[in-house]
Structure 1
Amino acid sequence: MPRSLIEVDNLSFGFRGQATDLVEGVSLALNRNETLCIVGESGCGKSVTALSLMGLLPPDATRISSGTITFEGEAIPADDFRRLSTLRGDRMAMIFQEPMTSLNPAYKIGDQITEAVRAHRGGSKAEARDRALQALEQVGIPAAKQRLGEYPHQLSGGMRQRVMIAMALVNDPSVLIADEPTTALDVTVQAQILDLIASLQDRSGMGTIMITHDLGVVAQVATRVAVMYAGRIVEIGTAQEIFDDPQHPYTIGLMSSVPKLTGPRQRLSTVPGLVPTPDRMPEGCRFATRCPFAQSVCATVPPLAPVAGDHRVACHFAPLETRLEAV
Structure 2
Amino acid sequence: MLSDLTWTNLALVQVSQKEIALLHKDANDVLMALGDFRLRFRGQDACVIDGVDLSVARGEVLCIVGESGCGKSVTAMALMGLLPSGSAEISSGTLRFDGETVDLTRDRLSSERRGGAMAMIFQEPMTSLNPAFRIGDQIAESVLQHRGGSKEQARDRTLEMLRRVGLPSPEARLRQFPHQLSGGQRQRVMIAMALANDPKLLIADEPTTALDVTIQAQILELIRDLQRERGTGTILITHDLGVVAEIADTVAVMYGGQMVERGPVAQIFDDPQHPYTIGLMESVPRLSGERARLTTIEGSVPSIDKMPEGCRFRTRCAFAVAACAERPALRDVTPGHAAACHFVPLEQHLRVAV
Q: TM-score, normalised by structure 1?
A: 0.98
Name the count of aligned residue pairs. 327
Determine which of 27, 43, 46 is the counterpart of 1:20.
46
Q: What is aligned with 1:151? A: 177
SS in 2 for 1:120: helix
Q: What is aligned with 2:242? A: 216
Q: What is aligned with 1:194? A: 220
**In the alignment, structure 1 residue 122 sits paired with structure 2 residue 154:** no
Q: What is aligned with 1:58? A: 84
Runs of 4+ aligned residues of structure 1 deviating over 6 Å after TM superposition are none
**In the alignment, structure 1 residue 168 sits paired with structure 2 residue 194:** yes
Identity in percent: 61
Q: Is the 8 A contact 2:102 2:108 kept in 1?
A: no
Determine which of 267, 279, 301 is the counterpart of 1:241.
267
Listed one character per residue, the Cα deviations across residues 170-195 of structure 1 (whole Å, up to 9, x for unaligned) are: 00000000000001111111111111
Counterpart amino acid of 2:309? Answer: E
Q: What is aligned with 1:46? A: 72
Q: Is the 8 A contact 1:35 1:223 kept in 2?
A: yes
SS in 2 for 1:83: coil
After TM superposition, list the pairs within 5 Å mapping 1:253-264 onto structure 2: 253-264=279-290
SS in 1 for 2:259: strand
Determine which of 300, 325, 336 is the counterpart of 1:299.
325
Determine which of 215, 222, 230 is the counterpart of 1:204.
230
Instruction: Supply the distance in 2 between the matched residues of 1:245 and 1:217 (Cα, whole angstroms).
Output: 18
Counterpart amino acid of 1:77? Answer: D
Instruction: Supply the distance in 2 between the matched residues of 1:258 and 1:249 (Cα, whole angstroms).
Output: 15
Q: What is aligned with 1:75? A: 101
Counterpart amino acid of 2:77? Answer: L
SS in 2 for 1:49: helix
Q: TM-score, normalised by structure 2?
A: 0.90
Instruction: Supply the distance in 1 between the matched residues of 2:93 and 2:294 (Cα, whole angstroms).
Output: 39
Q: Is the 8 A contact 2:262 2:338 kept in 1?
A: yes
Instruction: Supply the distance in 2 between the matched residues of 1:132 and 1:123 (Cα, whole angstroms).
Output: 13
RMSD: 1.2
Determine which of 134, 138, 145 is the counterpart of 1:112.
138
Q: What is aligned with 2:119? A: 93
C-alpha deviation, 1:84, in angstroms: 4.4
Listed one character per residue, the Cα deviations across residues 14-40 of structure 1 (whole Å, up to 9, x for unaligned) are: 111111110011101101111000000
Q: Is the 8 A contact 1:54 1:84 kept in 2?
A: no
Q: What is aligned with 2:168? A: 142
C-alpha deviation, 1:85, in angstroms: 3.4
C-alpha deviation, 1:130, in angstroms: 1.0
Listed one character per residue, the Cα deviations across residues 194-252 of structure 1 (whole Å, up to 9, x for unaligned) are: 11011101110001100000000000000000000000000000000100000000000
Listed one character per residue, the Cα deviations across residues 253-280 of structure 1 (whole Å, up to 9, x for unaligned) are: 0000001122222111100111111111
Q: What is aligned with 1:182? A: 208
C-alpha deviation, 1:81, in angstroms: 4.7
Instruction: Supply the distance in 1 between the matched residues of 2:148 and 2:247 (Cα, whole angstroms).
Output: 34
C-alpha deviation, 1:80, in angstroms: 4.6
Determine which of 25, 28, 40 is the counterpart of 1:2.
28
In structure 2, relative to structure 1, the CA distance for the partners of 1:84 and 1:26 (3 Å cut) is: farther
Q: Is the 8 A contact 1:39 1:225 kept in 2?
A: yes
**In the alignment, structure 1 residue 226 sits paired with structure 2 residue 258:** no
Q: Is the 8 A contact 2:119 2:194 kept in 1?
A: yes
Listed one character per residue, the Cα deviations across residues 71-127 of structure 1 (whole Å, up to 9, x for unaligned) are: 012111123555343321100000011111111111100010011111112222111
Instruction: Supply the distance in 2 between the matched residues of 1:97 and 1:264 (Cα, whole angstroms).
Output: 36
Instruction: Supply the distance in 2 between the matched residues of 1:83 and 1:195 (Cα, whole angstroms).
Output: 29
